[in-house]
């Protein structure tokens, strides 16, 4: 049996906790296990929760102390309107005590009353322990906290518990991957409360204008546009959002588009709302009104008089998308974030400074960026710096190494999958990295290692900015910046058919070539000194011989290897002010000694060197890079690392058999190398 996700509601007060737990469980309790944690009744749980819902900002510290590693949704809460008619009847200018516990919920209640337009009275907050002269108050208002009222007031008005907002409920659904139509069910429950409240106002005060005022106070709190009519189509009411979005006035002059939308909803099939036989509603319908797209539905609430009351709800799709973006950004901000900036890219070489300047200009755009360079030259560091300098800096930065996954796993990791997409899939499906990175940046490392069929899927994302989950039929729009990186010769791979031409030109819009360490000999010692200083707080000097050896070494691991050497030197030289040549790592000294000195009799090429010479000969007259040689050797069934190829090329150059060009110019076979191959072929 698949275990349901665990949702914890965290509050100060158990009564509030019970109410919020029940309101959530009433709609999605069959899908989620819902349990409560309150300060006055602490308990322990046998497993980690998937999500913690906090009753307000004032309870965040409590939640983080108990559930430090669990994502939080901070609830916004609204007045249900219960007993609001009693508040409206309080004489103008009266000082009223608002009672709750602790101070945070008191202020929240006052703010909600003021936002609802109930500003004809003066509010004073009270919570246990606050020093205040209670005798000067005749009225007390409380959100179901009667037990903390310290005085027998003449009038005590209980507003009952504050409800979760529909927005908060939608955040819960989005995080847990539950269908958003449950938000409609949740919302319809509160339609019933609002309408019942308005009826009580009419019965108690007997004035239709009071009904309009109270209904407006309550329904104006809702974030979607609401319009109510009679069964015969006579317009009764529009809330603040409806007036704002559709430009309605008191005469209900509506556009032809809005009228067509209402007519379309009238044709939709009504269904009974679970748990409320008096309420019927339609499924969500997507409609366009005044060039805006809305999720819409119609609710019909039966009245005791037999005359039904009809509500039309319109919620902007972009509002829901923004809510989802904001929630994902908060949920993934810690796990998927970029920590490096351009300040973390050290060095003063002209080429490195030029790359930083170009990258800063690229960061301001939304264009795709391709980072090309050897392994360890700081491509991800550059990608993170670009993200943090871009307008997308507050959104997720998601990195994936495409070489680390098999083809089937890579597709589901990138695009996600629907429930039942394959054996072993999670019951609720899984969100993919492209969706997580929405509105942010995705860093596709080792793009040259992407399987050919995955390249086709990546091309679709680049061209259309939509994805489809594995096993899914719906297209999901994504708004993100793509940064790709490779240490392989993509142009050569395009020529030999192992990398798609169209994908290459889609990726290679803005390109930066990161520099290997060997091209910046003047940066090696300053980098080591700076990194050792960060580790130990002390500045190390290097002997002249050590400097010479460090600059002669080829650094096949580039900055990654340079950092490792810095950590090695930090560990073996505590208390010393200068690093001597003999203190350098043994492998580095041995590698330097393995290169033949000038004047020595060149050794006969080994099989790997001969294979490299043959590849260089077949590539004539072009010069080729080490990445090309590694890939070509792999195709011929010869396993060789880039470092091994580099060592062989250095040896072949010392023997005069090849010519190694300067940065990015590649290597070519010499006439002596051609003659040597002719001897072997004979």
Report the predicted TM-score, pTM, of the whole model to 2 decimal places. 0.52
Q: Is residue 258 part of a domain?
A: no
Q: Is residue 249 part of a domain?
A: no
Type and span of the H or E element at 106: helix 103-115
Helix (H, G, I), strand (E, B) or coil at 564: helix
- Asked whether residue 388 falls in the same domain as residue 462, the answer is yes
Burial (Cβ within 10 Å: 0-12, 13-18, ≥19) of residue 295:
buried
Q: How many CB atoms lie within 10 A of CB 23?
A: 18
- Asked whether residue 482 falls in the same domain as residue 387, the answer is yes
Please provide residue 186's backbone torsions phi and psi, each rounded to the nearest 5 degrees.
Answer: -60, -45
Q: Is residue 207 part of a domain?
A: no
Q: What is the pLDDT of residue 598?
A: 45
Q: What is the pLDDT of residue 207?
A: 44
Residue 208 has pLDDT above 80, yes or no: no
Buried/exposed code over 380-404 (b: 16+ C-beta within 10 A; e: otherwise): bbbbbbbbbbbebbebbbbbbebee
Q: Is residue 55 part of a domain?
A: yes
Residue whose tokens read 């317009």: 235
pLDDT mean across residues, the chain: 82
- Asked whether residue 388 falls in the same domain as residue 366, the answer is yes
| CATH number of the CATH domain containing 554 | 1.10.8.60
- Asked whether residue 92 falls in the same domain as residue 51, the answer is no
Q: How far is CA 230 from the centre of its chain?
A: 44
- Asked whether residue 416 falls in the same domain as residue 551, the answer is no
Q: What is the pLDDT of residue 599?
A: 46
Q: Which of the listed residues 498, 513, 528 is the one where a domain comes to its end?
A: 513
Type and span of the H or E element at 481: strand 481-486
- Asked whether residue 470 falls in the same domain as residue 589, the answer is no
Angle in degrees, 0-180, between the axes of helices 642-654 and 607-619, rounded to the nearest 10: 80
Host domain of residue 46: 1-75
- State the Cα–Cα distance between residues 588 and 582, nearest whole angstrom: 10
Residue 530 has pLDDT above 50, yes or no: yes
- Asked whether residue 69 falls in the same domain as residue 123, the answer is no
Q: What value does the CA radius of gyration of the chain take, rounded to a whole number of Å?
A: 34
Among 172-186, 464-478, 511-525, 594-608, the least confident range = 594-608
Higher pLDDT: 369 or 328? It is 369
Establish how many alpha carbons lie within 13 A of residue 314's alpha carbon, considering only the half-sphere containing its beta carbon. Answer: 26
Q: How many CB atoms lie within 10 A of CB 417?
A: 20
| CATH number of the CATH domain containing 616 | 1.10.10.10
- Asked whether residue 497 falls in the same domain as residue 348, the answer is yes
Q: Could you tell me the CA-to-CA distances from 630 to 616, 635, 640 in Å, in that order?
A: 12, 9, 6
- Asked whether residue 490 falls in the same domain as residue 624, the answer is no
| CATH number of the CATH domain containing 496 | 3.40.50.300
Q: Which of the listed residues 480, 513, 546 is the one where a domain comes to its end?
A: 513
- Asked whether residue 437 falls in the same domain as residue 460, the answer is yes
Residue 477, C-beta contacts closer than 8 angstroms, at least 6 positions apart = 465, 466
Taking alpha carbons only, the member of 320, 298, 143, 303 closest to residue 233 is 298
Q: What percent of the chain has pLDDT over 70?
A: 84
Taking alpha carbons only, the member of 491, 391, 388 closest to residue 443 is 388
Helix (H, G, I), strand (E, B) or coil at 287: strand
Token pair belonging to 508: 């290679």
Among 134-143, 170-179, 279-288, 492-501, the least confident range = 279-288
Residue 150, C-beta contacts closer than 8 angstroms, at least 6 positions apart = 126, 128, 134
- Asked whether residue 355 falls in the same domain as residue 468, the answer is yes
Residue 414 has pLDDT above 80, yes or no: yes
- What is the total count of domains within the chain? 5
Q: Which value, to the nearest 10 degrees, does the dihedral of the CA atoms of residues 469, 474, 479, 482 take?
A: 30
> How many residues comprise the chain?
682
Does the N-terminal peptide bond of residue 230 adopt cis geometry, omega within 30 degrees of 0? no
Q: Is residue 244 part of a domain?
A: no
Residue 282 has pLDDT above 50, yes or no: yes
Token pair belonging to 474: 């719906």
Q: Is residue 295 part of a domain?
A: no
Q: How many CB atoms lie within 10 A of CB 37?
A: 21
Q: Which of the listed residues 127, 144, 159 is the one where a domain comes to its end?
A: 159
- Asked whether residue 352 falls in the same domain as residue 488, the answer is yes
Angle, CA of 410, 443 and 560, to the nearest 5°: 105
Among 41-45, 61-65, 74-78, 309-313, the least confident range = 41-45
Q: How many CB atoms lie within 10 A of CB 349?
A: 14
- State the Cα–Cα distance between residues 394 and 381, nearest whole angstrom: 17
Q: Is residue 539 part of a domain?
A: yes
Higher pLDDT: 662 or 31? It is 31
| Per-residue pLDDT reduced to its tens digit, 83-133 | 877 888 888 888 899 998 888 888 888 988 887 778 889 999 988 888 888
| Per-residue pLDDT reduced to its tens digit, 316-357 | 877 776 666 566 555 555 567 788 999 888 888 888 899 999
Taking alpha carbons only, the member of 293, 292, 294, 267 closest to residue 282 is 267
């Amino acid at each position: 049996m698949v275990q349901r996700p665990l949702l914890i509601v965290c509050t100060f007060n158990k009564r509030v906790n019970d109410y919020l737990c029940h309101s959530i469980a009433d709609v999605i309790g069959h899908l989620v296990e819902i349990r409560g944690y309150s300060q006055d009744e602490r308990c322990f749980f046998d497993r980690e929760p998937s999500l913690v819902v906090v009753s307000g900002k004032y309870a965040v510290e409590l939640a983080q102390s108990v559930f430090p590693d669990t994502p939080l949704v901070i609830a916004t809460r609204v007045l249900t309107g219960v007993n609001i008619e009693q508040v409206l009847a309080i004489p103008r200018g009266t000082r009223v005590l608002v009672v709750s516990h602790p101070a945070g919920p008191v202020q929240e209640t006052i703010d909600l009353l003021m936002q609802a337009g109930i500003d004809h009275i003066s509010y004073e907050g009270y919570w246990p322990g606050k020093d205040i002269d209670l005798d000067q108050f005749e009225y007390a208002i409380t959100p179901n906290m009667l037990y903390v009222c310290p005085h027998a007031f003449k009038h005590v008005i209980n507003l009952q518990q504050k409800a979760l907002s529909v927005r908060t409920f939608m955040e819960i659904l989005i995080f847990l991957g539950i269908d958003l139509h449950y938000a409609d069910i949740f919302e319809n429950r509160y339609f019933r409360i609002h309408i019942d409240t308005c009826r009580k106002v009419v019965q108690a005060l007997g004035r239709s204008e009071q009904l309009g005022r109270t209904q407006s106070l309550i329904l104006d709190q809702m974030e979607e546009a609401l319009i109510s009519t009679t069964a015969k189509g006579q317009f009764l009411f529009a809330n603040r959002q409806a007036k704002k979005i559709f430009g309605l006035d008191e005469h209900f002059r509506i556009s032809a588009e809005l009228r067509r939308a209402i007519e379309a909803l009238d044709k939709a099939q009504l269904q009974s709302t679970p748990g409320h036989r008096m309420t019927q509603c339609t499924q969500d319908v997507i409609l366009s009104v005044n060039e805006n797209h809305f999720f819409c539905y119609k609710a019909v609430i039966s009245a005791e008089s037999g005359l039904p009351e009809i509500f039309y709800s319109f919620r902007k799709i972009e509002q829901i998308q923004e809510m989802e973006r904001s929630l994902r950004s908060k949920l993934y901000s810690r796990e998927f974030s970029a920590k490096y900036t351009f300040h973390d890219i050290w060095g003063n070489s002209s080429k490195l400074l030029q790359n930083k300047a170009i990258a800063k200009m690229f960061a301001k755009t939304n264009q795709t960026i391709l980072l090309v360079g050897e392994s360890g030259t700081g491509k991800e560091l550059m990608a993170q710096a670009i993200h943090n300098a871009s307008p997308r800096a507050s959104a997720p930065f998601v990195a994936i190494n495409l070489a680390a996954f098999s083809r089937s796993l890579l597709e589901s990791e990138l695009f996600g999958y629907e429930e039942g997409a394959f054996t072993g899939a999670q019951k609720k499906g899984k969100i993919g990295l492209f969706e997580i990175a929405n509105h942010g940046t995705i860093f596709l490392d080792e793009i040259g290692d992407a399987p050919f069929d995955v390249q086709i899927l990546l091309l679709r994302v680049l061209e259309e900015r939509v994805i489809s989950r594995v096993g899914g039929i719906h297209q999901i729009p994504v708004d993100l910046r793509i940064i790709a990186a490779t240490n392989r010769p993509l142009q050569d791979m395009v020529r030999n058919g192992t990398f798609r031409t169209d994908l290459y030109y889609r990726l290679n819009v803005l390109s930066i070539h990161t520099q290997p360490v060997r091209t910046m000999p003047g940066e090696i010692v300053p980098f080591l000194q700076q990194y050792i200083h960060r580790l130990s707080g002390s500045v190390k000097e290097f002997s002249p011989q050590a400097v010479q050896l460090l600059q002669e070494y080829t650094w096949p691991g580039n900055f990654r290897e340079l950092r490792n050497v810095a950590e090695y030197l930090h560990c073996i030289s505590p208390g010393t002010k200068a690093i001597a040549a003999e203190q350098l790592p043994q492998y580095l000294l041995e590698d330097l000694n393995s290169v033949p000195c000038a004047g020595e009799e060149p050794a006969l090429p080994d099989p790997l060197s001969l294979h490299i010479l043959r590849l260089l000969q077949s590539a004539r007259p072009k010069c080729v890079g080490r990445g090309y040689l590694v890939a070509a050797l792999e195709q011929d069934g010869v396993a060789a690392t880039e470092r091994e190829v580099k060592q062989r090329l250095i040896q072949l150059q010392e023997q005069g058999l090849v010519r190694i060009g300067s940065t990015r110019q590649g290597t070519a076979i010499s006439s002596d190398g051609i003659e040597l191959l002719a001897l072997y072929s004979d």
